[in-house]
């Protein structure tokens, strides 16, 4: 497809959504939608396995990722059923790692239930947008069952925000964020990290950031969270 044709298609899509959704809020949504329909997402979309056969012989089975009933594994950061690295997270936990799990997928998701205070993570950025979602873990009311105080630092200014109710945090691509401190947990917290990229990536923004000397402004049960470092050589 030529660049001219691609630009025409992109313009048509933008016009369509702006006509479909009106008003100030609608235009904001339309602008967000057009962002994800622009040609710069083409490389990601091209990876979708449209012509790849499913292993089970069905047409659409390749779009399903299901737990196989195996016991949860330790140090597993890609599986639907894995053991957490430390006891403050209830076991088991669940990960979906985007294109590495389902070729063509354009998001990664993690689910953990935090039952005790814990903090981790150095300031970093991502190539794509991210959402951090904090919910209560008591069914059926995931909203009102939230009972915790969680501190999140945002931006190069290291602006501190304390989350005291069910909250969704939007982190635009390139925005510095972290550390994160689950400082007070009165009831278990269901935590989702939704990343709108095909594979999880991160770039450290503050070299040699020392979490042990960081001013947490309160109790801090510091742990290392994430895949173990790769061995050199």
Q: Is the whole-model pTM more than 0.85?
A: no
Return the percentage of the chain with pLDDT > 90, whole number.
41
At residue 199, the 3 state secondary structure works out as coil
Residues 6+ apart with CB under 8 A from 91: 72, 83, 84
- Of all residues in the chain, the percent with pLDDT exceeding 70 is 73
Longest dimension (CA), the chain: 58
Mean pLDDT check: name the lowest of 28-42, 47-61, 68-82, 195-209: 28-42
User: What DSSP designation does 71 have?
Assistant: P
Closest CA to 201 of 230, 170, 173: 173
pLDDT, averaged across the chain: 79
**Residue 58 or residue 24, greater confidence:** 58
Query: Which tokens go with 221?
Result: 């049960």
Q: What is the reported pLDDT for 19?
A: 45
Q: Is 210 left (phi over 0), alpha (psi -120 to 50) or beta?
A: beta
In this prediction, residue 48 carries a pLDDT of 54
pLDDT band at 204 (very low <50, low <70, confident <90, very high): confident
E-only strand ranges, the chain: 73-74, 82-83, 94-96, 108-114, 118-120, 124-125, 130-136, 148-154, 159-163, 167-171, 177-185, 189-195, 203-204
Q: Please give the domain boundaries of the chain with CATH numbers for all domains.
A: 3-37 (no CATH), 61-204 (2.60.120.10)
Q: What is the pLDDT of residue 28?
A: 42
Sequence-ordered list of residues with C-beta below 8 angstroms from that of 58, at least 6 positions apart, any chain: none
DSSP per-residue letters across 100-115: GTSTT---EEEEEEE-
The single residue listed with the structure tokens 């012989």 is 57
Confidence of residue 181 (pLDDT cuts 50, 70, 90): very high
Residue 152 to residue 162: CA distance in whole angstroms: 6
DSSP result, 142-163 = TTTT--EEEEEEETTTTEEEEE
């Amino acid at each position: 497809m030529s660049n001219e044709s691609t630009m025409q298609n992109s313009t048509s899509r933008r016009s369509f959504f702006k006509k479909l959704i009106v008003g100030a809020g609608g235009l904001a949504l339309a602008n967000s939608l057009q962002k994800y329909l622009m040609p710069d997402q083409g490389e990601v979309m091209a990876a979708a396995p449209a012509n790849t056969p499913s292993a089970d012989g069905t047409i659409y089975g390749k779009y399903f990722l299901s737990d196989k009933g195996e016991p949860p594994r330790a140090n597993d950061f890609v599986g639907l059923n894995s053991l957490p690295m430390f006891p403050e997270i209830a076991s088991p936990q669940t990960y979906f790692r985007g294109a590495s799990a389902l070729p063509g997928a354009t998001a990664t998701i993690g689910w953990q239930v935090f039952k005790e205070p814990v903090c981790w993570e150095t300031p970093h950025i991502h190539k794509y947008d991210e959402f951090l979602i904090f919910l209560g873990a008591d069914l059926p009311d995931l909203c009102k069952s939230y009972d915790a105080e969680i501190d999140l630092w945002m931006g190069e200014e290291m602006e501190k925000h304390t989350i005291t109710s069910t909250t969704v945090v939007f982190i635009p691509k390139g925005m510095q964020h972290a550390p994160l401190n689950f400082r007070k947990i009165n009831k278990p917290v269901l935590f989702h990290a939704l990343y709108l990229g095909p594979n999880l990536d991160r770039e450290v923004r503050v070299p040699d950031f020392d979490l042990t000397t960081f001013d947490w402004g309160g109790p801090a049960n510091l742990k290392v969270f994430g895949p173990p470092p790769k061995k050199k050589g």
